[in-house]
Amino acid sequence: MEILNTAIKFALLIALIISPVLLFNKLHKQNFRYFFVYYLISAGLITFFLILILAWWSHFSTELLLSHYGYSSGDLNETDRMKNIAIENLDTVKKLRISKMGIGWPLKAFMFYPFYFPYLILVYLGMSFYKKKSNQKVSLQKV
């Protein structure tokens, strides 16, 4: 169960890294007049949606793991919540419960996005530099 949760988190992180590059290539094939604006808006929306999914999944997977170990979050007192947990899983459940506390997943997503947004601009600059350099090599080979 934990391996599946971790695999999904890594898949979402890889999607966050690769999606701006794929979007740049797709938009570059179409000749837009204001390419940077189209790229920034579309990449911003897509990656913000992916960050929301990643933040939600991290919260949901913690809840899923807690219920898998037998933790009952609907009970009122702590002894009723912990009564179905095996002794060997008690430390894991306590760590998961502590990691669940704090700010909610929407606020985590909103707080993470300003740190991620400069990556979109770096991808744009890097891919633009790469495309110009590859176009220069092609034009030199034709001569």
pLDDT digits 0-9 by tens, 112-123: 999 999 999 999
Spatial distance between the Cα atoms of 80 and 58, rounded to a whole number of angstroms: 25
Structure tokens at 50: 């992916």
Spatial distance between the Cα atoms of 15 and 8, rounded to a whole number of angstroms: 11
Using a pLDDT cut of 90, give the percent of the chain over it.
Answer: 45
In angstroms, how far is CA 110 from the centroid of its own chain? 12
Say if residue 139's pLDDT is above 80: no
5 residue type, one letter: N
Spatial distance between the Cα atoms of 95 and 130, rounded to a whole number of angstroms: 45
Three-class secondary structure of residue 32 per DSSP: coil
What is the reported pLDDT for 138?
58
